[in-house]
Chain A
Amino acid sequence: MIKRLVLLFLALSPFLAYAATGCDLNDPDRDVKRLFPTSTGYKTSYASIQKSGGKATLAAVEKALGDKFGGLYETIDAPYTIYTIYKGNSVIGYVHGVNQKGAYGGLQVFLALDTKGKITGFYYQKLSSKNAAKFKAAAFANQFTGLSLADFATLDIKTGKGTGKAALIKNPSTATDKDFLNTLRGVKKNLVLMNVFIYNK
């Protein structure tokens, strides 16, 4: 019988490729109301690079990001949770989060975006850091407000240098704290993916 179980398990293994859990809001009702005070509701949907064009899309995402996907959360079939925000019958924006490698485990970087793709809110849902208070401070979060993917286009996420407005974002922590560059990568990845899933659909 054990042999049959093992054989069944192995027979299903082709389906058992690579994926990861999505990045959901822990308190969507409260978070959405905080990020979009005039909203009357939100609709949850799921997307993936696989469903949005597959390998060609992954290559385009990596090119736009300026880095290869890797690790536990950056796979072609990783599910992404998108919250579409409504005021009455009209869409007024989106909330989307991504998992990102951090200095201590993973970060969860969430963005609130308007219908044109401009950031209206930034926050960490998950962050474990000695400098968590500095990263979570409004003074740091507010630097992202008003920026869009175009502002991150020339940003080198490995160095934090570039010519756009994103390159002017100031590190709230020490120069050696890797979570600043990790955060910039998470934000840029978030914007690139939203461009694929929503704005350039």
Chain B
Amino acid sequence: MKSTTGFLIGILILLILMAFQPLFGDDQLLFLEGQLVGGYSSLTNGPILYSHHAKDSMQKPSLGFDYIRKFNNGFRDTGTLAVQYRVAYNESIKPRFESQIYNLYYKHKLPGFDLWMGSNRPAAGLSSYLDNHAALLPDMTMKVFTFDRDWGAGLDADCGWIRFAASATNGAGMRIYNKKGNYMLAARIGIGDFNKSNYTLGLSGIHGKVLEAMGYNLGHANSATGEYTLHPEDYIGADGSLRYLNYFLKFDALSGQFYNQPARALLVRTGFNLLSEDRLSLEAQYLYSKHAVFNNANLAASVTYRITPDLALRALFDYDLRADESKIVGQIYYYKGLGL
């Protein structure tokens, strides 16, 4: 999609939703989201307008919306439609204005479990339930091990104290691409809820043939055919989180094979919240990954300050050992409910 077209379509959808928002019933929510992101990279020795990588989706200067609609039959909820969309500005690559679809799924309630179809989080690891939509800190989805969003279907079942989730997705990330049978199967079984019980613990498994994806960009094209190379992958993993008073600890670990070679990754994030209602949050993390010949680690620290309910300031320092790159990134982030 051409950059101008993508930008105009995104703005048009947003304006239409805003125009019709006053007519919305009490079963819908619409949020406007906007962010400015910028910083400095020692690798380019100059300014950057992204937090992780020029080709990755998050975070970049962007404008978007988040829409949720509940469906019912008059006496009970039957499903949920969730749409999360951004138009992001690319500083150094084309398209300049990129349409980004995050959530675009319908979740239907069935006896004992919920079934979703569309673009959603694969059922593996911490990233299957970690809210990273505004975060500057990188996570496992920014390596080749799993995806932040993938197209397909999945189910969530809450069986008392055990939670089970499974997904069958396209294995290409945010982009819909399937020419050689790429796919990813994932499942997670876990206990706890970070909000409710102050802890989570889970075990995950992943099997599939996936593409190397970074946001909408695919990598590792075959030099002869131009087609993107499929990568067989098999992982098992463990994830968890724990909060005690103002302190929290989160981890995500995967081990197995990627492209027929041993691969593993580990994310450990810790931090603490300060001020009333956790307005100030300080976080630090270590992210290690190894696949094929790539052996890398990132050390990062982040600070978040919520000025108002809708306005937050974030700053990130990230050091990439392999590239010997230091980044300092700042973000102004708005997230505002419309017409409530």
A-side residues, CB < 8 A to B, are 1-2, 5-6, 8-9, 12-13, 15-22, 26-30, 40-48, 50-51, 71-73, 75, 77-79, 86, 88-89, 101, 104-106, 108, 125-126, 128-130, 132
A126 lies within 8 A of B195 (CB): yes
A106 lies within 8 A of B195 (CB): no
**Shortest Cβ-Cβ A-B pairs, 5 listed:** A41-B76, A20-B309, A19-B337, A48-B340, A77-B340
Q: Which residues from A are CB-within-8-Å of B70?
A: 43-45
B72 lies within 8 A of A105 (CB): no
A26 lies within 8 A of B195 (CB): yes
Task: With CB as the reference atom, state the residue of chain B lying closest to A45.
Answer: B26
B238 within 8 A of partner (CB): no
**Complex alpha-carbon distance, A168 and B255, angstroms:** 56
For the complex formed, measure the closest distance between the CB of B310 and the CB atoms of chain A, giving whole angstroms.
6
Of B170-178, B225-233, B270-278, B322-330, the one contacting chain A is: B270-278
Given the known interface contacts A17-B310, A19-B340, A79-B337, the answer about A105 and B277 at a Cβ–Cβ threshold of 8 Å is yes
Q: Mark B314-340, 1 if CB is under 8 A from A, else 0.
A: 000000000000000000001011111
A101 lies within 8 A of B340 (CB): no
Q: Which residues from A are CB-within-8-Å of B36?
A: 5-6, 9
Q: Which residues from B are CB-within-8-Å of A71?
A: 276-277
**Complex alpha-carbon distance, A19 and B195, angstroms:** 20
B43 within 8 A of partner (CB): no
**Complex alpha-carbon distance, A15 and B310, angstroms:** 11
Q: Which residues from A are CB-within-8-Å of B338?
A: 15
Most chain A beta-carbon contacts within 10 A, residue among B72, B196, B338: B196
For the complex formed, measure the closest distance between the CB of A88 and the CB atoms of chain B, giving whole angstroms.
7
Complex interface residues of chain B between 20 and 59 (CB less than 8 A to chain A): 26-29, 32, 34, 36, 49
A44 lies within 8 A of B77 (CB): yes
**Complex alpha-carbon distance, A2 and B36, angstroms:** 10
B336 lies within 8 A of A43 (CB): no
Which residue of B28, B63, B195, B310 is within 8 Å of A108 (Cβ)?
Answer: B195
Of B144-152, B241-249, B292-300, the one contacting chain A is: B241-249
Q: Which residues from A are CB-within-8-Å of B76?
A: 40-43, 86
Q: Which residues from B are CB-within-8-Å of A13?
A: 334
B34 lies within 8 A of A12 (CB): yes
Q: Which residues from A are CB-within-8-Å of B77?
A: 28, 41-44
Q: Mark B49-88, 1 if CB is under 8 A from A, else 0.
A: 1000000000001010000001010111100000000000
B: number of interface residues (CB 8 Å): 46
Q: Mark B154-168, 1 if CB is under 8 A from A, else 0.
A: 000010100000000
**Complex alpha-carbon distance, A17 and B310, angstroms:** 7
Task: With CB as the reference atom, state the residue of chain A lying closest to B96.
Answer: A1
B193 within 8 A of partner (CB): yes
A73 lies within 8 A of B96 (CB): no
Task: With CB as the reference atom, state the residue of chain B lying closest to A132.
Answer: B198
A26 lies within 8 A of B278 (CB): no
**Complex alpha-carbon distance, A27 and B306, angstroms:** 27
**Complex alpha-carbon distance, A78 and B31, angstroms:** 12
Which residue of B158, B244, B276, B308 is within 8 Å of A30 (Cβ)?
Answer: B158
Enumerate 27 A-B pairs (CB-CB under 8 Å) in ascending A order. Answer: A1-B89, A2-B89, A9-B334, A12-B63, A13-B334, A18-B310, A19-B336, A26-B196, A29-B109, A40-B75, A41-B75, A41-B76, A42-B77, A43-B70, A44-B27, A44-B72, A46-B29, A51-B339, A72-B306, A72-B308, A77-B337, A88-B75, A89-B75, A101-B277, A105-B246, A106-B277, A106-B278
For the complex formed, measure the closest distance between the CB of A196 and the CB atoms of chain B, giving whole angstroms.
14
B220 within 8 A of partner (CB): no
B94 within 8 A of partner (CB): no
**Complex alpha-carbon distance, A20 and B340, angstroms:** 10
Task: With CB as the reference atom, state the residue of chain A lying closest to B248.
Answer: A128
Instruction: Using A41-B77, A104-B245, A129-B245 as known contacts, list a sample of 13 further A-B pairs with CB atoms less than 8 Å apart, ordered by residue number in A.
Output: A5-B89, A6-B36, A9-B34, A20-B310, A27-B193, A29-B109, A43-B70, A50-B339, A75-B309, A104-B273, A105-B273, A126-B196, A128-B198
B279 within 8 A of partner (CB): yes
A73 lies within 8 A of B277 (CB): yes
**Complex alpha-carbon distance, A27 and B112, angstroms:** 12
B32 lies within 8 A of A15 (CB): yes
**Complex alpha-carbon distance, A78 and B308, angstroms:** 12
For the complex formed, measure the closest distance between the CB of A183 and the CB atoms of chain B, giving whole angstroms.
15
